[in-house]
Structure 1
C-alpha cells in the first residue's frame, strides 16, 4: 500500500484524473436520452442494453476507441475495440454472438491494420465480425464496434443493494502499460484460459450469485465503483487496504486503470464464499474490497481514516441512474 499520499491527496488526484472527467462528460447524453429510455423500459447506462427476448435477453452494446490510439497503433486499436465490446457482453452475464464495425480512415493502410487487429482478436474470443461500414475521411482514422449477445440472466448496473459487498475479480498475470493506464492481462500465453475465465460471468449470473456489476472500464476501479453505485442509487465504501496493485504498479494508476480482465460485482455476504469458489481457478484473484450503503457517497477508507471521493447526492458522476 502506497503511504506517501494522505487520503485527501488521493481523493484530489483521483477526482482530477482525465478518465474521471471523461465519464462526467456522459451527463448531457444521459439527460438527453433519459425520457426515451424510460418510455422504452430499457434504462441507459449499463455495459450493454438488455432487451427482453423469449426466455432471456438480447444484449446490444458499442464501443469506440480513442483517436490517439487509432492514430498511433491502428492494429492495437482494432484489437482493443474487440476486447472492450466482448467484455461488455460478459459483464452483463451474457455470451457474445457477433460484431459489426464502423471504420473511418483517410488511407487504405490504416484501414487494413484496423481490420487485421479486429480479425485477430475476434478469432481469439471466438466472436465473428459479420459486417460493417467504411468511411473515407480527410484526416484522422477512427474505429468503433457494435456487438450482439444473449443472456439467460443479467448482471446489471442497477441492482446493487445496501449491505452488498463490492467484489473485484481480476487476472493476476499481466503486463502493466503505464503510458496507456492499461493492465494487459490477455497476453498470448493466456489464449487457452481467455474464454473459460470470461464464461464464469454468465455462470455467476445464471446461478444468481450476483445481480449487479460492471467491467472495470477506462475510469478504473474507483470510477467504475462510482458508476455502479450511481446507477443503483446507493453509495459504497472502498477499502484501500484490501486493494493490492500488481508488483511495480502504484496505487493511484491502479485505481484508474482499464483492465482487460477486471469485473466489479455486488455480492450479498451470504453468497461471497460461493462467488469465491466459482472464480477459484488458476490465474484469477477475487477480493472483497468494500461494501455498498444507503448514503449516496463513495468513501475511501484506509486503516481507521475515511475521506469522501464523490458525493452523488450533491453532484452526479456520469448522470446515469434507473
Structure 2
C-alpha cells in the first residue's frame, strides 16, 4: 500500500461505517476501565479535586522535581501472545514507549512479566522484547518469569520522564483535533494492527517518538493521546471524556493508506499514531514537524462543548457516543471541576 490522505469513503458507505464504529469491540472494551477504577476507588471528581494522580491517561504522571515521572503497564490478550508471540514481545516495548511519548515524555526503562509452557514457549516472546528494547534504545532491567504454565501470557511496565506534560485532561472547546499516523506499513494478521515499526531503523523510531516531547516543551499542545485498540474514533472518545468535552471528526480527513477498508482503518491500532489538540495558530507548526519526518498528519476535527463524539462526512453527521447519556472510562472530571480549573 502507498501513502495517501484523506480516507476514501464512498457515497453510500457512511451509514455502514457509523454502525461498525458504534459496535466496535475495541471501544466498548474500554468500559472495563470504569469497572476496575470504581472498585479500586480511583479517578472521577474526588481524585481531581484532591490533587491525586489522575486515572484515565496513557500513564500515571507522578510529580518529580520540576518534571514528572511517567509510570504505565500493558497486558496482552492471550490470543495475541499465542498467535504472534514474537510481535507480542515487540509490542510489549513499543506500546509502552508510545504511551510515554503521548504524555510528552521520554522512556527510561521497562520490566516484563512472562508466563509460558517451558523455555521454548517463552523464547519468541523474549526475543521480541529484546529486539524492541535494542531498537527503541530502552533498557530491559528485570521482571518476572514463570515457565511452568499452560499458556503464554505477557505484561510489560515502563518508567519514563517528562519535563512538560501532554495529557488526556486538557483539551478545550474550540481547539483543533490533529491525527498523526505513520502510514509506511502494513496490516499484520490476524489482528487489526497497522505495523510500521519492525522494519524501521533505530534512528527513525527514536526520532519520531521525540516529536511528542518536543511539541510539549515548545508549548504547541497541552493534550494528546496514543491511538489504541479503540482506533481513531474510540481514542478520541476517551480523550473527550477525560477532558469533559465533545469532539466532531470529519472522517474523510483522517490520514489513511491507499486501498484500506475505511471502517477497519478507523478501528485499527497503528504502531505510531497519536491524537493531539491545539489552538488553530499552532496547527501548521505541529503538522510540519510530523510531515518533515514522513509521518502523515492532518486536522481531522474540532473539540466541542456538547459532550458527544460525532463523525461527519459531507453534510451527514452521526453521534457515536453521548456522554450526557453514559460514561465510558468513568475517569473524567465533573463540569464543576472543569469550570473551576478554567477560572
What TM bracket, shorter-length normalisation? over 0.9
1:290 counterpart residue number: 301
1:183–1:32 Cα change, 3 Å: same
1:77 aligns with 2:88: yes
The DSSP-based 3-state class of the residue aligned with 2:210 is helix
1:38-49 aligned at under 5 Å gives the runs: 38=47, 41-49=52-60
1:19 counterpart residue number: 26
2:115 alignment partner, one of 104, 124, 137 = 104
1:221 counterpart residue number: 232
**What do the CA deviations read for 1:74-94 (whole angstroms, capped 9, x no partner)?**
211110111111101011100
Quote how far apart the aligned CAs of 1:178 are.
Answer: 5.2
1:67-216 aligned at under 5 Å gives the runs: 67-177=78-188, 179-216=190-227
Quote how far apart the aligned CAs of 1:190 are.
Answer: 4.1
Quote how far apart the aligned CAs of 1:116 are.
Answer: 1.2
- Comparing 122-131 with 40-49, greater Cα deviation is found at 40-49
1:246–1:54 Cα change, 3 Å: same
- Comparing 121-130 with 245-254, greater Cα deviation is found at 245-254
d(CA) in 1 for partners of 2:42 and 2:252? Answer: 41
Residues 179 and 255 of structure 2 are in contact (CA less than 8 Å); yes or no, is this contact kept in structure 1? no
The DSSP-based 3-state class of the residue aligned with 2:149 is coil
Q: Say how many residue pairs are matched.
A: 322
Residues 58 and 148 of structure 1 are in contact (CA less than 8 Å); yes or no, is this contact kept in structure 2? yes
Quote how far apart the aligned CAs of 1:26 are.
Answer: 1.8
d(CA) in 2 for partners of 1:118 and 1:61? Answer: 16
2:76 counterpart residue number: 65
Quote how far apart the aligned CAs of 1:108 are.
Answer: 1.3
Q: Unpaired segments of 5 or more residues in structure 1?
A: none
Quote how far apart the aligned CAs of 1:7 are.
Answer: 3.5
Quote how far apart the aligned CAs of 1:14 are.
Answer: 1.1
Residues 174 and 187 of structure 1 are in contact (CA less than 8 Å); yes or no, is this contact kept in structure 2? no
d(CA) in 2 for partners of 1:251 and 1:264? Answer: 18
d(CA) in 2 for partners of 1:287 and 1:170? Answer: 9
The DSSP-based 3-state class of the residue aligned with 1:115 is helix
Quote how far apart the aligned CAs of 1:174 are.
Answer: 1.0
Quote how far apart the aligned CAs of 1:297 are.
Answer: 0.5
1:173-322 aligned at under 5 Å gives the runs: 173-177=184-188, 179-322=190-333
The DSSP-based 3-state class of the residue aligned with 1:42 is coil
Quote how far apart the aligned CAs of 1:231 are.
Answer: 0.5
2:9 counterpart residue number: 2
The DSSP-based 3-state class of the residue aligned with 2:91 is helix
d(CA) in 2 for partners of 1:152 and 1:186? Answer: 26
d(CA) in 1 for partners of 2:84 and 2:11? Answer: 35
Residues 7 and 306 of structure 1 are in contact (CA less than 8 Å); yes or no, is this contact kept in structure 2? no
**What do the CA deviations read for 1:112-150 (whole angstroms, capped 9, x no partner)?**
221111011000000001000112453211110110000
d(CA) in 2 for partners of 1:136 and 1:187? Answer: 26
d(CA) in 2 for partners of 1:298 and 1:290? Answer: 11
Q: TM-score, normalised by structure 1?
A: 0.95
